[in-house]
Amino acid sequence: MVMEKIILPKQGLQMVEGIITKWLVEEGEQVREGEPLFEMETDKLTITIDSTATGTMLKILHPAGDVVPVAETIALVGEPGEEISIPSPEPEDQASTSSESPAREKITPRAKWKADELGVETKTLSGSGPDGLIIEKDVVEASKKTATPLARRLADLHAIDIEQVPGTGARAKVVAEDVLSYSGKKSPPDDRETRVPHSSMRRIIARRMKESLDTMAQANHQLQVDMTDTLKLREQIRKAGTKVSINDIVLRCVAHALLEFPMLNAVFTDNEIIQKHYVNLGVAVATQNGLLVPVIRNADQMNLPQLAAAVRRAVERAKENALSVDDISGGTFTVTNLGMLGMDCFTAIINATEAAILAVGAVKKQAVVMEDGSIQARDIMWLSLTYDHRIVDGAPAAEFLVRVKQLLENPGLLI
């Protein structure tokens, strides 16, 4: 049997790296092609990856917690006792090296960018790439706080973030005495503060939201919608035996309106704006692992019961952490609803590559002056549209939002 490499697979067109969160086998154990091998976190979700080889796990090259570029070898599978040949790390980009400029720092552009982001001094780093080339992994490792094993065990015992502990050892390494000293200075566990280390998902969400705000010209429109007739329609549909929510009806109206306003269903690139003539609706779902946005494909082609059923399935899979990469890819517009939590009105951040996002608030009774001068109690709901001003101007964005309002206030138009 020839030793086989296990590589980090590419999951989605935009994926460039993943985080190995858990190995499901240990070195020396048997693995089979097609059976679960490890868990990986991308910039969108956590998924289980199956083995591409059958044999004995000879060597795990990247343990849990490593950030690994796509297609890099992460493990070796072969026969027991087989001589292990560990592949040299592949350079991410040789553009920063030059035989004509030997004095120039040997570092890839990606590693340089990561060093600037993390504040790492690279001049003293030893690169693990060919000929000492510094790659991103070297920078990430250098940014981590070094500590003795005992110091780390003490930090875990006292629920202390080791990154916050000043080190007094060689090259600022954290030793056991540092942790004990820091533990004596920190507040008791039942005092006024609780420190919650960032999860991988929280880091990803934070980065993506920041990137969205940094790269788009985000503007916002808001208006109120009279949902009285929509609630009556929903009650009639429910009495007929079909389970439909307010959010389902909002999604149906949005899908219909997007076909009339393709500029809200578009993507901005360096050279052009690409309008989509199909509607893949993202539905924001809050889960224990963080915010996920499953995509309802071709939502514009579904009637209301079909759309409601598709949304229920997507939400269930999101909460069970059973979504695939395809389930959360390819969205053209997103709807997020916090009405069930009592939020009257809020402003959402656009998902990357999309042109807009609609935030839906709670439906509440309000006194409304009607056209005939009478005052009635009506069911009112706020809508808030955040849009990318690079793609669409304020007037057409407002027209789109007004069209959604018209459909919600006259739900018979959708039948």
Which sign, positive or negative, has the C-alpha torsion 127, 130, 133, 135? Answer: negative
Cα 108 to Cα 268: distance, rounded to the nearest angstrom? 28
Q: What is the DSSP string of 263-317?
A: GGSEEE-SS-EEE-SS--EEE-EEETTEEE--EETTGGG--HHHHHHHHHHHHHH
pLDDT band per the 50, 70, 90 thresholds, residue 180: confident
Cα 207 to Cα 11: distance, rounded to the nearest angstrom? 19
- Paired tokens of 145: 């706080």
Domain 4-78 has CATH 3.40.1350.10: no
Q: With the CA atoms of 390, 396, 397 and 398 taken in that order, what torsion angle do they form, in degrees rounded to the nearest 10?
A: 140
- Residue 334: its H or E element: strand 333-337
pTM to 2 decimals? 0.64
From its phi and psi, is residue 314 left (phi > 0), alpha (psi between -120 and 50) or beta? alpha
* Pairing assessment for the beta strands 333-337 and 281-283 based on DSSP bridges: parallel
Q: Which of 178, 173, 171 is nearest to 154 (CA)?
A: 178
Cα 282 to Cα 297: distance, rounded to the nearest angstrom? 9
Helix axes 246-260, 394-409, angle to 10 degrees: 130
Reduced to 3 states, what is the DSSP secondary structure of residue 369?
A: strand
Cα 207 to Cα 211: distance, rounded to the nearest angstrom? 6
**Residue 394: CB partners within 8 Å, gap ≥ 6?**
219, 221
Active site residue 389: yes
pLDDT at 345: 96
pLDDT band per the 50, 70, 90 thresholds, residue 148: confident
Task: For the chain, give the percent of residues with pLDDT over 70.
Answer: 87
pLDDT at 93: 47
Computed on alpha carbons and rounded to an integer, the radius of gyration of the chain in Å comes to 27
Is a pLDDT exceeding 80 seen at residue 227? yes
Q: What are the residues facing 285 on neighbouring strands?
A: 292
Is a pLDDT exceeding 60 seen at residue 143? yes
Selected from 4.10.320.10, 3.40.605.10, 1.10.510.10, 3.20.20.140, the CATH number assigned to the domain covering 94-143 reads: 4.10.320.10
Cα 387 to Cα 356: distance, rounded to the nearest angstrom? 4
Whether 111 contacts 136, CB under 8 Å = yes
More confident residue, 239 or 189: 239
Measured in whole angstroms, the distance separating CA 47 from the mean position of its chain's CA atoms is 13
Cα 40 to Cα 191: distance, rounded to the nearest angstrom? 36
- Paired tokens of 47: 């998924």
CB atoms within 10 A of CB 321: 14
pLDDT at 174: 83
More confident residue, 90 or 290: 290
**Residue found by looking up tokens 């056991």 in the block:** 176
Catalytic entry in 158, 256, 277, 389: 389
- Paired tokens of 313: 């399935």
- Mean pLDDT along residues 90-113: 55
- Mean pLDDT along residues 135-162: 77
Selected from 3.30.559.10, 3.30.230.70, 3.30.750.200, 3.40.50.2300, the CATH number assigned to the domain covering 201-414 reads: 3.30.559.10
What are 340-389's pLDDT values in tens digits?
Answer: 999 999 999 999 889 999 999 999 999 999 989 999 999 999 999 999 99
Q: Which of 401, 376, 385 is nearest to 334 (CA)?
A: 385
- Mean pLDDT along residues 225-239: 94
The residue extents of the domains of the chain are: 4-78, 94-143, 201-414
- Paired tokens of 241: 């035996």
| Same CATH fold assignment for domains 4-78 and 201-414 | no
Question: Phi and psi of 34, rounded to 5°?
Answer: 90, -10
Cα 52 to Cα 175: distance, rounded to the nearest angstrom? 41
